[in-house]
Amino acid sequence: MSLYKNFKTLFCGILLFFLINASFAQHQKLYKHKQYISNGDTLKYRILLPKNFDESKQYPVVLFLHGAGERGNDNKAQLVHGSKLFLKENVRDSFPSIVVFPQCPKEGYWSNARVDRSTKPISLKYPVNAEPTISLSLVMKLMDEYLGKPFVNTNKVYVGGLSMGGMGTFEILYRKPDMFAAAFAICGGGNPEGAKEYAAKTELWVFHGAKDDVVNPQLSIDMVSGYLKYGGKPNFTLYADDNHNSWDSAFAEPELLPWLFSKSKK
């Protein structure tokens, strides 16, 4: 009898797993496939429009930058982390917005970082005066284009990302300091001197796991210090028991989206 019960429990668990994933795959279709082409370079991205989208209205825009593990050209993997948050019914009802998930190619990088993976955590250096990567350049051009649309509320434009995307978040902030009202960076890093360009203009919430053995939490601490140095007043959450996947805790923060969407350009 116990064997039957165990089999039944296992079967129900497997069935639930497939039903949840099938449901998510169905909801993912709400993120429409798009691509942006500039000077022969292509950026694939997915975009989620508000319910009952109306071009005569204006909406906030959220740009989300994924991590290194979601790079590719399938225009799908970038939705693995974060996309579920914006698909929640209460979120879509409370915060109608346009959400953009671009995908970085496999060999690309959002941030112009020098990466040494022979160490653990990996060694990262961020030259502030270097040219942006092709991937980030395309994202900036795409955002410039979108912000010219009449249905975009240019006072309520936001950016966030995790890991490589957290690094891209810090970088796009100093390259586009007048674009964003608020940003959140999860387990990322950057050059603290770049904060001089946006500390007085963009609200910031930084997240990291204290046990992160991939991206050193000290990098986020340094970014918070740079932001403070140049007059910013950041939120900073360091999760004592989190490793690199601190995005799970960050996405579970009940105040993250209310905080984000409450911000308007200074």
CB 67 within 8 A of CB 248: no
**What confidence tier does 20 reach under pLDDT thresholds 50, 70, 90?**
very low
Q: How confident is the model at residue 19 (pLDDT cuts 50, 70, 90)?
A: very low
Q: What is the pLDDT of residue 40?
A: 94
Does pLDDT of 131 surpass 60?
Answer: yes
Mean pLDDT score, 51-68: 97
CA distance 109 to 119: 19
Q: Which residue has the higher pLDDT, 61 or 129?
A: 61
Tokens of 6: 């165990």
Catalogue all structural domains in the chain, each as residue range(s) with its CATH number. Answer: 32-261 (3.40.50.1820)
| Residues 161-210 pLDDT 10s | 999 999 999 999 999 999 999 999 999 999 999 999 999 999 999 999 99
pLDDT band of residue 16 (cuts 50, 70, 90) is very low
Euclidean distance between CA atoms 69 and 201, whole angstroms: 31
Residue 76 CA from chain centroid, whole number: 15
Query: How many angstroms separate the Cα of 32 from the Cα of each of 61, 106, 140, 237?
Result: 15, 21, 20, 32
Residues 6 or more apart whose CB falls under 8 angstroms from that of 94 comprise 257
